[in-house]
Amino acid sequence: MMDENEVQDQVFEDAAAAPIGDDAFETDDSSAQIEALQRELDEARQNVLYAQAETQNVRRRLEQEKQNAQAYAATAFARDILSVKDNLERGLSSIGDELRSDDRLKALVTGIEATARELNSVFQRHGIARVDSMGQQLDPNKHQAMLEVPSDEPPGTIVQELQPGYTIKDRLLRPALVGVAKKPD
């Protein structure tokens, strides 16, 4: 890619290499040729500037795409691992107090709880966050209404969370499945 000075030099070389006829020294023809060459030079400069601007835009676009690819490369994997997290949380919530106090199972329960904490830590490190739902107004960009529940809450308020939603950085990974308040019958 030639810079502006190289283009200018090339135009001057082309003009110098042009054959000079007997009428080249006429004033009217010379000024017309100079004007024509000046227009060509201005046009070449403009084309170079456009090419440089386009190159810079392409470079910026590629850099943005590279950053997005790095930030969201694990999206598919993160979606898949959410079901593992859901099952782990369901398993922990199903453990009753009598099993937690049993000396034979205490180490197992402690290990499962440690696994859940580590999974939460990994999610946090990679920008995966749970979507707040309970008590919020239904937002179709974050929530998916699955049912309506008669309630004294204002209509459209989330009163039940069937499955938590998650975001990865600033993008929705999975919408929260929720129950929404409606006026009692």
Q: Are residues 62 and 83 in the same domain?
A: no
Which DSSP string do the residues of the chain spell out, in sequence order? ---HHHHHHHHHHHHHHS---GGGG-HHHHHHHHHHHHHHHHHHHHHHHHHHHHHHHHHHHHHHHHHHHHHHTTHHHHHHHHHHHHHHHHHHHH--HHHHH-TTTHHHHHHHHHHHHHHHHHHHHTTEEEPP-TTSBP-TTTEEEEEEEE-SSPTTBEEEEEE--EEETTEEEEPEEEEEEE---
> At 24, is the pLDDT very low, low, confident or very high (cuts 50, 70, 90)?
very low
**pLDDT tens readout for residues 77-91:** 889 999 999 999 999
For position 29, what pLDDT does the model report? 84
Q: What is the pTM of this model?
A: 0.63
Please tell me whether residues 115 and 134 are part of one structural domain.
no
Lowest mean pLDDT among 1-10, 19-28, 82-91: 19-28
CATH number of 161's domain: 2.30.22.10
From 37, 55, 71, the end of a domain falls on: 71
Q: Check pLDDT > 80 for residue 1.
A: no
What is the predicted pLDDT for the residue at 100?
A: 84
When pLDDT is averaged across residues 137-154 and rounded to a whole number, the result is: 93
Same domain, 122 and 157: no
Residue 106's domain comprises 74-126
